[in-house]
Structure 1
């Protein structure tokens, strides 16, 4: 009954049209991808070092000490988030940053533990900073545009309720870029390259290499040991790679702790950082026992809010 009354009030004040006509109710808020990923090659921008934090090192398993997978990168004035697992907005705040200052969100693939907080990040920034919010650019595999539109449609009721408070719906709509293997994007202080990884049966899964002239980091996303990752991570300063312990989960489309050291060695990575740890409760020494025989460089078993660069 209350819903019917609200519908009648809406029809009376809008001539029968939804207050979001032309947006979520009838079309898509993000109607078309405003840009495509830049596939040019070129020089890495001349800038200082990267700063990198592990904002979440967990998996779909809910543990008190491990938020959903995400990695925060600062380069110049840009603040980039690789994946946005559950809880990452609060983790960003714990590091002393305002989530509204995120300029780019990179999605590796569309498993829920890697994209769950995307709607909250967008909505929270828009609601909290009504007059000056600028949505981050969202970069991800084919299907990301549809995901963003459906995610915003899910929150249509919330969006509609806030229009009476002079919220600008255009501020909420992010620019979406769908990537391909080898796609490059750049900011004033960094360059990022997307590379396809092997997370079959997920057919569109990617990792990212982010670099300045001084430093570089590669993030694996979820993958089996993968030649394409090894090629794109060649000589990287820090390789942040997922790991699964034998006997747990689904090793056929992840990288075992007994294999990840060899991946880092083949890539020539100067440092290896383990994340997306399954299971998340094992002590670091258990992981190191598996990785050390195949990799001679520094190894870090990641934990939430750790700075690795």
Structure 2
């Protein structure tokens, strides 16, 4: 605690009134990443399979994908950085962050994931943040909320360059190439959320489709055709808000129509039911490999 009242007032005034020191940099999809030949090994884990409900054993929604040398985190629900550590990585290892939509449970730890390595002096380079329209504004508000933290660390030699995050805002069909893998955004149906997306990550002939939060969605079924893995949310009747989620009675049909090899359920509403309750219903429509999600579950290894 500083003993200089004037200095203390200066920091607090800067926190309230001044332009924040850190801002994200918006880049165009065509300006970032290029295709290359060859395929990367795709590995995937369900880091967090929960919802806004606080349930022991289910952290906020987050999926980790290892694509060659890159580490991709899809959504940044509560505790995602600690889950990443349990999977063998550090926050500074993340190279790309995909945000499906801006509900609290999907973005709440984005600021912590980006700033924790900076605070500890371990940041190698900021990850690229990819998300819906409004992602740049959201991230700048996060940085503004922590402007006091940033300013109070500057006298200790911290570099703002290490927080120079690039943001790519996507629309339906936007495809970004990152060497040996690529990601395509798929607009899904989560109204009244206007901009909600799933993602399809591809490398060579292999692919992983992620639904985000959505009702049964024909665009997602089309985009996920023949995928090796579909990671899809699921809701049990009598729980949550069925108008903008996918019932367990529909998710098997979605996966079957998409012709995916494997289906992993995540964002389970509610989170306390036994696996058999979900599997029994999904199995009525889906004949492929089925995994009822739990935190830290490995769900594919594609070579």
Q: Which residue of 2 aligns with 1:126?
A: 118
- Do the aligned partners of 2:181 and 2:201 also contact (CA within 8 Å) in 1? yes
- Superposition deviation, residue 188 in structure 1: 1.7
Distance 2:142 2:230 in 1: 31
RMSD value, Cα: 2.3
- Do the aligned partners of 1:57 and 1:276 also contact (CA within 8 Å) in 2? yes
Distance 2:89 2:172 in 1: 31
**Which of the residues 53, 68, 85 maps onto 1:93?**
85
Which runs of 4 or more aligned residues in structure 1 lie more than 3 Å from their structure 2 counterparts after TM superposition?
7-11, 42-45
Identify which range, 42-51 or 243-252, moves more after superposition: 42-51
Q: Which residue of 2 aligns with 1:29?
A: 22
Matched, 1:288 2:279: yes
Q: Which residue of 1 aligns with 2:240?
A: 249
TM-score for the superposition, normalised by structure 2:
0.92
Distance 2:200 2:36 in 1: 12
Distance 2:275 2:74 in 1: 24
Q: Which residue of 2 aligns with 1:300?
A: 291
**Which of the residues 44, 54, 69 maps onto 2:61?**
69
- Superposition deviation, residue 255 in structure 1: 0.1
- Superposition deviation, residue 133 in structure 1: 2.9
- Shift in CA distance, 161/246, structure 1 to aligned 2, threshold 3 Å: same
TM-score for the superposition, normalised by structure 1:
0.90
- Superposition deviation, residue 7 in structure 1: 5.0
Where structure 2 has 5 or more consecutive residues not aligned to the other structure, the ranges are none
Kindly tell me the number of residue pairs found equivalent between the two proteins: 297
1:39-97 CA-to-partner distances (Å, cap 9, x unmatched) read 99x97741233000000000000111000000000111100000000000000000111
| Structure in which a larger fraction of residues adopt strand | 2
